[in-house]
Amino acid sequence: MKRNATVVVVGSSNTDMIVQVKDLPRPGETVLGGEFMTAAGGKGANQAVAAARAGARVTLVARVGNDAFGTEALRNLRTAGVDVAQVSRDPAAPSGVALVLVADHGENSIAVASGANDRLSPAHVARASRAFTRAGVLLVQLETPLATVAAAIDRARAAGMTVILNPAPARPLPAALLRKLSIITPNETEAERLTGIAVKSEASARRATTELLRRGVPTVVLTMGARGVLLASVAGCERLPAFRVEALDTTAAGDVFSGSLAAALAQGHTLYDAARRAAAAAAISVTRRGAQPSIPSRVEVERFLSARLPQGAIAAAPGRRGSAAPKK
């Protein structure tokens, strides 16, 4: 497989412990839950699996504990086709765990105990240097130390890779880091945290993307749930409508979107077509429960799109504005 069809993901791996509830509890409230399940999760691992199922070759740089959760996480990643040679095991810290409440209408509430994820260091990124020289796209998030994220971005830029940041969980970020990105993929909450602009409508979303562009990010891909996706760059701004589905669990939708986007860009699709594919993958994922179990395959995404678009529409999309993300 060619270098630019390969993705490196640097990020977290967790085990999700999920309880289905009728409504999310308010502060101080106890609610009786229904179904309980465990599932492989963590933003880094979720995005790596999403990219692999979208057809990319994927290397994950991560850290898990020397425990049963870590063993199971590695097994799940290998099964999904992710290269785990750079997933190290920490002898002192446990694997990350996420406690997830999912309401019947699809919303969720998540608390994370990071464990070994907090011990993923720039040294682990340096040890994975060969993976960077062979890849075209780097995808990072914010569930690991910011110094590690920054080290991965610097290494990717030096290797001429496209750099994608999914800024989740939301936190303020230094302007110097934002200027090193090729693409940022916030949702509405994350865009507000980054810019101070409350994203409540398409108009306010456009203002938030303009602010991120002003701060030096070349391309903003803002996901807006039922309002779709906003693609913004210095060339202009375009909205991609959302696919309408019946949502059961939105837990990993943003991860599925970012991982699928990275894979499609690595495979040479334009930004517009990559975002359509990513939006389709995310739409499929919210109709299923769990994080990694919900992630669709490339074949499923193509069938989903072919059932919703006129014949030839996918082939026509690469000619639209927004070719593959600029290298940095």
Inter-residue contact 256 to 46 (CB < 8 Å)? yes
Integer-rounded Cα radius of gyration of the chain: 18
List, by residue number, the catalytic residues: 255
Q: What integer best gives the mean pLDDT of the chain?
A: 90
20: which 2 tokens?
């289905």
**Do residues 43 and 255 touch, judged by C-beta distance below 8 A?**
yes
Strand, helix or coil for residue 56:
coil
User: What's the pLDDT band for 3 if we cut at 50, 70, 90?
Assistant: low
pLDDT tens by residue, 230-270: 999 999 999 999 999 988 878 789 999 999 999 999 999 99
Give, as one character, the DSSP assignment of residue 176. H
- pLDDT tier at 291, thresholds 50, 70, 90: confident
Q: Taking a C-beta distance cutoff of 8 angstroms, is the pair 229, 187 a contact?
A: no
Res 314: pLDDT: 36
- Domain covering 3-319 assigned CATH 3.40.1190.20 in the classification: yes
Decide: pTM greater than 0.85. yes
Burial of residue 183, with CB atoms counted within 10 A of its CB: 0-12 exposed, 13-18 middle, 19 or more buried: buried
Label residue 309 by pLDDT band (50, 70, 90).
Answer: low
Average pLDDT over residues 55-75: 97
pLDDT of 5 = 84
